[in-house]
Structure 1
């Protein structure tokens, strides 16, 4: 039973992030032990052939020795899953940070390990990343709304049923018996599609620790989102109806283009029409604009 102590500065330093590196590592564990990850069966079926690919098996061998663990124990090596540093980090950025880890600390051949991670990312995660990231971003959007309505204590207490808030401490039942004082560093909250339970990630240097927790709505991750009902398609047009369905969780034009097969220009034009009609809203974060259904759009989808 581990505990994390929050001070005033730590509460002010709570932030959210998504880690493609973490998802790559944990998805590899899931593919190696499908029986424990029934919720991901559609994805597991789609990557079944990858597990039988000899060339890929050879490249990912250094990862297999480290990442295939009992998910109830969660004993992934710390250096393999560093805390995410940026809310919009790309896989290659996180891999570069991992590669900067000293060989003495990791006890592993880092070039071979980096190649193994890249091979699994390219083969099994990257093709599905727009869908995975959309679910994780939707979780973050939900938590930020919860923060505005209920405060940070409720956000922390509701990350997972097994977590609970006691005084100024967050208790992690799956952690070893240890106590971590954040001491003003703050903490990063990172939703995960493949996490079985909550994990606390710590690393060297000034990077704040991260609490990884199972994302909301993972059960919808592999659903087949075909076109919406025929009535809605006749009303809006089939492409706009599909886009409206895919914006039920926040997504960028690039993500929507990847999911629908439409060009970026076509997606932008259709989104402009949907936004003018009040069916979707948009908000900018740094260099990205995220689109999501409005209350009217949600009602229309539900009715359809």
Structure 2
């Protein structure tokens, strides 16, 4: 069980963001243990083929050795994200990690399992070997994450919008109680039902939270109290991530309402924003807005405002049409 203790400043400092580097690093867990990440099998098949290429395998090896399944990650490798951060900025942040922090963070990961060969080498020569690790993360992002990043980002952005509205409307207690079944709010602290036994006093630094598609079952926290407080939690709707972005071949619904509107309905089992849908479908935001307006007027989608974002989701009538078109 872990506990995070909040002051009033920490409650006000809870922030949500998408972290490209976290997705890149944590994706290694899915690659190594596909049976535990079956929802990602379409991506895993492609990523494994990518990793078999010798020129990729050699450069990514430091990340493969450091991001092993059922092993803790050093905090410097999963830095607290801020809104709209890009992968290049996060890589620069990792590259600038002082050698003593690299050593401290690596040692914090060893109680459960010893370091890999690369981990031991990095521990001995952090200044010399850290650039190899940064290069490994960059290469893996470019080769395996970037091609699918628009659809990942759309799902993650929709979750951030949804959670931000929960926090604004319901306060910290309701927010954390609904963030994940393992979390409970007890007045001035979050109690996390997990095996990590971490104990944090946030000390006015706030808490950075990011949804991730590659977290299995739990909220994952930074290991060390001296690190910037951060946590990664499972994103909502991950089961829709690898669904086809267009309409199925021969989709009868597309013949009735048009392929663009049918494509949106196939994606709106989970709530999404106009921007997110544009990323997923490849349509312009203007076209998506026009289709959504028509679908809303026909009673096929509901819309709700969550903070600064408008989320769309299928209505019951749309779900009936989808079941009929899918032969269900």
TM-score (norm 1): 0.81
Instruction: Give the structure 2 partner of residue 303 of structure 1.
Output: 320
Which residue in the other structure is 1:188 paired with?
208
Counterparts of 1:160-175 in structure 2 under 5 Å? 160-174=180-194
Q: Does the 8 Å contact 1:50/1:123 carry over to 2?
A: yes
Whether contact under 8 Å (1:202, 1:210) holds in the other structure is: no
Q: Is the 8 A contact 2:168 2:307 kept in 1?
A: no
Q: Residue 158 of structure 1: SS of its match in structure 2?
A: helix
Give the secondary structure class of the aligned counterpart of 1:50.
Answer: helix
Q: Are the counterparts in 1 of residues 27 and 214 from structure 2 also a CA contact under 8 Å?
A: yes
Q: CA deviation at 1:110?
A: 2.1
- Alignment check: 8 A CA contact 2:222 2:230 kept: yes
When normalised by structure 2's length, the TM-score is 0.76
Distance 1:25 1:36, change over 3 A: same
Q: Which moved more, 1:30-39 or 1:237-246?
A: 237-246
Alpha-carbon distance in structure 2 between the residues aligned to 1:17 and 1:48: 28
Please say if 1:271 is aligned against 2:289: yes
Further displaced range: 3-12 or 224-233 = 224-233
> What is the rounded CA distance, in whole Å, between the counterparts of 2:263 and 2:243 in structure 1?
14
Structure 2: gaps (5+ residues): 103-122, 322-328
> Residue 78 of structure 1: which of 75, 78, 81 is its match?
75
SS at match of 1:212: strand
| Residue 28 of structure 1, CA deviation | 1.6
Aligned-pair CA distance for 1:120: 0.8
- Count of aligned pairs: 290
CA distance in structure 2 between the aligned counterparts of 1:89 and 1:281, rounded to whole angstroms: 28
What RMSD, in angstroms, separates the aligned Cα atoms of the two structures? 3.1
State the match for 1:250 in structure 2: 272
Which residue pairs with 2:235 in the alignment? 215
- The alpha-carbon distance between structure 1 residues 155 and 245, as it changes in their structure 2 partners (threshold 3 A), is same
Cα contact 1:4–1:180 (8 A) shared by 2: yes
Give the distance between the partners of 2:251 and 2:30, measured in 1 at CA: 37
SS in 1 for 2:79: coil
1:96-142 superposed Cα distances (whole Å, 9 cap, x missing partner): 11111123432442221111101111111111111112222222233
How far did residue 25 of structure 1 move? 0.3
Post-superposition shift, 1:47?
1.9
Contact 1:244 1:280 in 2 (8 A): no
2:190 aligns to what SS in structure 1?
A: strand
Unaligned regions of 5+ residues in structure 1, if any?
Answer: none
Q: Report the counterpart of residue 179 of structure 1 in structure 2.
A: 199
Distance 1:251 1:96 in 2: 30
